[in-house]
Amino acid sequence: MKVHNNKAWWLVLPVFLLVAFSAVVPMMTVVNYSVQDIFDSSSRFFVGVDWFKQVLRDSRLHDSLLRQFIYSGCVLLIEIPLGIAIALTMPTKGRWASACLIVMAIPLLIPWNVVGTIWQIFGRADIGLLGWTLNALGISYNYASNTTDAWVTVLVMDVWHWTSLVALLCYSGLRAIPDVYYQAARIDRASSWAVFRYIQLPKLKSVLLIAVMLRFMDSFMIYTEPFVLTGGGPGNATTFLSQTLTKMAVGQFDLGPAAAFSLVYFLIILLVSWLFYTAMTHSDKNS
Amino acid sequence: MEWMAWTLPTALFFGGIGLLLVGMTVWELRSPCVERRGFLPIATSRGDRLFIGLLGSAYLHLMVIGVTDWSVWIASALSVVWLVVVMRWG
């Protein structure tokens, strides 16, 4: 039998300590908070699973969870095909390839709150180029008062910010396909659709899984951009999970329910990430 | 440790998880596991099955708390059964 040298595990110790300090200990604290009614550090009462019961039956949270899934679904449905399409049309070599890569990378370098501010001003009807132009064309547009406009703006903003990531990942995936596949396709007189369907798409599978996972997790945790752009409004139309959670924890200082809610949130992210991770590792094994 | 707002039940919970991990490590050192395929649709190692068992238990608790008016102990009892089933036949 192969003997493993387990001494290498000592090298993992620094990372383990770092993760314990930054994630495990705070996580344990959140679990402790979730079963107590906390007024201040000296007066706290054990309430069992009452906060979980309250949170799991709160219609406000159901609504924002539904909004969150719709939002993440829309983000994936738009950004993944668009990213693939952009990657397919990008030049493969020469000066233009470099120029395209730089242009594509620019939105990724802009911080979240700056993106929110850019789009907040861009969409305004009085001084923003987008808002003013749309209204001048006779299209009524106001993201601050119209739910559809707010949703479209938040989605377009995310597409503008993050499609580049998908495109760049797919671009690198496409460049990694050996030329012999294309030569074989030319010999078989395969159509460009057949080349995409039977060569490019299967070869992009693992890259796409990473792209889908990254975009799902990021969009599922989104906070800053919609907060700066719409503040969650109009009404609660663009209030997503993280914003509801922040309101509960920081705004109302309901630490117990907020802790219970963040654990539910964590479990959703954990399940989805695990599913993607398993799909990814098993597709690697199969290929 | 006061700032972490410990309670006896949560301390016991994390103590249990910690013991489980230590136990799994000792078990792995004594007899390294081989990936196998049970009723789960993927080949799993012992650690994978523990993770699936614990994650399933967490969701089971959420379901019982969120949907029914049963005592949380019923969820815990069902979780133990689920954990044993996954570890043995998963």
For residue range A77-97, what is the model confidence (pLDDT) as tens digits? 999 999 999 999 999 888 999
Higher pLDDT residue, A40 or A234?
A234
Residue A1 has pLDDT above 90, yes or no: no
> For chain A, which residues make up each domain, given as ranges?
57-286
Are A64 and A148 in contact, with CB atoms under 8 Å apart? Answer: no
In a domain, B77, yes or no: yes
Tell me how close the Cα of B4 comes to any Cα of chain A, in angstroms. Answer: 5
Contact: B10, A28; criterion CB under 8 Å:
yes
Contact: B10, A4; criterion CB under 8 Å:
no
Residue A5 has pLDDT above 80, yes or no: no
Chain B environment of A36 (Cβ under 8 Å)? 5, 7
Quote the pLDDT of residue A276. Answer: 85
Task: Residue A20: count other Cβ atoms within 10 Å of its Cβ.
Answer: 13
Contact: A44, B5; criterion CB under 8 Å:
yes
pLDDT (average), residues A211-239:
89
- Band of residue A287 on the pLDDT scale cut at 50, 70, 90: low
Task: Residue A170: count other Cβ atoms within 10 Å of its Cβ.
Answer: 23
Written as six digits, the tokens of B23 are: 């136990």
Contacting B with CB below 8 Å, chain A residues are: 1, 4, 6, 25, 28-29, 31-33, 35-36, 38, 41, 44, 46, 48-49, 52-53, 56-57, 264, 267, 270-271, 274, 278, 282
In a domain, B48, yes or no: yes
Considering only the beta carbons, identify the residue of A29, A48, A264 that sits closest to B4. A29
Written as six digits, the tokens of A117 are: 């501010």
In a domain, B49, yes or no: yes
The ipTM assigned to this model is 0.92
Q: From residue B63, give the alpha-carbon distance in Å to each of A53, A264, B57, B74, B75.
A: 10, 11, 10, 11, 9
In a domain, B1, yes or no: no
In a domain, B69, yes or no: yes
Contact: B42, A282; criterion CB under 8 Å:
yes
Tell me how close the Cα of A57 comes to any Cα of chain B, in angstroms. Answer: 6
Contact: B62, A267; criterion CB under 8 Å:
yes
Which pTM value belongs to this model? 0.85
Q: Can you give the length of chain A in residues?
A: 287
For B75, the domain range is 6-89
Contact: B42, A278; criterion CB under 8 Å:
yes
Q: From residue B13, give the alpha-carbon distance in Å to each of A41, A264, B6, B19, B73.
A: 22, 17, 11, 10, 14
How far is it, in rounded angstroms, from Cα B32 to Cα B26?
A: 10
In a domain, B53, yes or no: yes
Give me the tens of pLDDT residue by residue for chain B, a chain 90 residues long. 778 889 999 999 999 999 999 999 999 989 888 888 999 988 899 999 999 999 999 999 999 999 999 999 999 999 999 999 999 998
Contact: A38, B7; criterion CB under 8 Å:
no
How far is it, in rounded angstroms, from Cα A200 to Cα A171?
A: 11
pLDDT (average), residues A244-258:
89
Contact: B14, A28; criterion CB under 8 Å:
yes
Quote the pLDDT of residue A42. Answer: 79
Tell me how close the Cα of B19 comes to any Cα of chain A, in angstroms. Answer: 16
Q: State how many domains chain B has.
A: 1
Q: Which fold has domain A57-286?
A: MetI-like fold (1.10.3720)
In a domain, B46, yes or no: yes
Quote the pLDDT of residue A181. Answer: 94
Quote the pLDDT of residue B1. Answer: 73
Residue A261 has pLDDT above 60, yes or no: yes
Quote the pLDDT of residue A90. Answer: 93
Quote the pLDDT of residue A43. Answer: 84
